[in-house]
Amino acid sequence: GAVVSQHPSRVICKSGTSVKIECRSLDFQATTMFWYRQFPKQSLMLMATSNEGSKATYEQGVEKDKFLINHASLTLSTLTVTSAHPEDSSFYICSAPRAGNTEAFFGQGTRLTVV
């Protein structure tokens, strides 16, 4: 069964609104989680590293004020896409490694469509 759960799986929102995506580790604690974005027919691009109890670390070119990350507990990280625009439409995927594990477990992904 899934060890990382992502919600919602699909969301459609109006341009200018904000959308929150949740990523939960189900049977383990994750001090670190990762957020990726994937455009059609492209690879997964790492957006940011979510750190429990501290600020997220963003990759170069990713706007931290647009993609707000909150890692408030050891099992939950949230990504909020603020003031969404059609170009933010994408597939967003989170992952979480178990402590001491190099392999990360991936969520099912969230398909965001901004209209």
Partner 1 sequence: GESVGLHLPTLSVQEGDNSIINCAYSNSASDYFIWYKQESGKGPQFIIDIRSNMDKRQGQRVTVLLNKTVKHLSLQIAATQPGDSAVYFCAEILNTGGFKTIFGAGTRLFVKA
In the bound complex, what is the minimum distance in angstroms from residue 9's beta carbon to partner 1?
Answer: 8
- Taking CB under 8 A as the criterion, the residue among 24, 25, 34, 69 binding partner 1 is 34
- Taking CB under 8 A as the criterion, the residue among 3, 11, 13, 44 binding partner 1 is 44
Nearer Cβ to partner 1, position 58 or 70? 58
Per-residue burial over 78-109, b if 16 or more Cβ lie within 10 Å, else e, is bbebeebeeebbbbbbbbbbeeeeeeebbbeb
Q: Which of residues 65-84 bind partner 1 (CB under 8 A)?
A: none
In the bound complex, what is the minimum distance in angstroms from residue 106's beta carbon to partner 1?
Answer: 4
| Region of 11-19, 30-38, 76-84 interacting with partner 1 (CB under 8 A) | 30-38
CA geometry: angle 6, 103, 57, nearest 5 deg: 65
Q: Which pair of tokens denotes residue 42?
A: 């492209």
